[in-house]
């Protein structure tokens, strides 16, 4: 009703009507591209082989499910996510309130007219360039990182840099803990007022999210490895002072 229409007001006019149909999978290929993949040397449609442009990406749609506890933060920060995806990466983005997920789609770009200019109100306007082939994956990682608990300004680095990743694991993957032992372990990871986590982030140049028993690390491959080793040592019961001593030596090697 009214609440659904006013939740994300900017997504309706950016999609054609056929995009509102229900799609069965999380990643859907474009119709023209899927037909091109079916064309082979023994196919009856081999005459259509040259009709599909080679520059068109194979996967043109992504769907990122939104957990229930992240729906309100997503609503509050929607414009901070929407503007970089649509303006900088030139993708289409909307919120599907029925399926509770964020949907990303590559726009249909006419390669011949992508560099031409159009006139609106007597002023020449440069047409938008086609998105990069990796834009869909970058935007999906960007939205997924925010839904994991990272701040928007930290997740934006996934759009700017190519060598950043998000690693996820649980405390039980390192050691099986129950009851108060689990609570003390999470307390060692966070520290008083988050001091231990902030020290790990500054020393390894990463961003760490501790969500219950789930741990998420955002950074480069080498920095994630150093942060993961330090977190595993804390989970196994090492004192923070000993972990920080080893962390300083590892951070000096990285720098």
Tell me the average pLDDT across 85-94.
91
Interval 19-67: pLDDT, tens: 333 333 333 333 333 333 333 444 444 444 444 445 555 778 899 999 9
Residue that wins the pLDDT comparison between 108 and 236: 236
CB atoms within 10 A of CB 231: 24
Q: How confident is the model at residue 250 (pLDDT cuts 50, 70, 90)?
A: confident
The residues pairing with 94 across neighbouring beta strands, listed in sequence order, are 103
Taking the whole predicted model, whether its pTM rises above 0.75 is answered as no
Residue 12's alpha-carbon distances to 4, 63, 68, 157, in angstroms, are 12, 16, 23, 28
Cα separation, 234 vs 239, whole angstroms: 7
Q: What proportion of the chain, given as a percentage, has pLDDT over 70? A: 69
Summarised one tens digit per residue, pLDDT across range 110-136 is 655 444 455 555 555 566 777 777 889
Structure tokens at 31: 């119709």
**Closest among 167, 169, 210 to 191, alpha carbons compared:** 210
pLDDT tens digit string along 231-247? 999 999 888 888 888 88
CA angle, 144 then 159 then 21, to 5°: 50
């Amino acid at each position: 009703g009214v609440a659904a229409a006013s939740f994300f007001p900017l997504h309706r006019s950016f999609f054609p009507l056929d995009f509102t149909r229900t799609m069965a999978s999380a990643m859907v290929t474009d119709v023209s591209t899927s037909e091109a993949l079916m064309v082979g040397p023994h196919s009856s449609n081999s005459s259509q082989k040259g009709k599909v442009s080679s520059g068109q990406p194979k996967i043109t749609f992504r769907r990122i499910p939104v957990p229930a506890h992240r729906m309100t933060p997503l609503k509050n920060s929607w414009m901070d996510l929407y503007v970089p995806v649509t303006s900088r990466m030139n993708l289409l983005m909307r919120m599907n309130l029925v399926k509770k997920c964020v949907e990303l789609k590559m726009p249909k770009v006419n390669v011949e007219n992508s560099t031409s200019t159009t006139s609106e109100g007597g002023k020449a306007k440069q047409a938008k360039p086609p998105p990069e082939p990796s834009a869909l994956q970058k935007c999906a990682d960007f939205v997924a990182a925010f839904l994991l608990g990272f701040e928007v300004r930290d997740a934006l680095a996934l759009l700017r840099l190519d060598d950043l990743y998000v690693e996820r694991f649980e405390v039980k993957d390192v050691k099986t803990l129950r009851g108060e032992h689990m609570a003390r372990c999470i307390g060692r990871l966070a520290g008083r007022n988050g001091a231990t986590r902030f020290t790990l982030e500054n020393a390894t140049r990463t961003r760490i999210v501790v969500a219950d028993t789930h741990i998420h690390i955002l950074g480069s491959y080498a920095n994630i490895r150093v942060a993961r080793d330090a977190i595993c040592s804390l989970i196994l019961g090492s004192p923070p002072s000993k972990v920080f001593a080893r962390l300083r030596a590892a951070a000096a090697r990285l720098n």
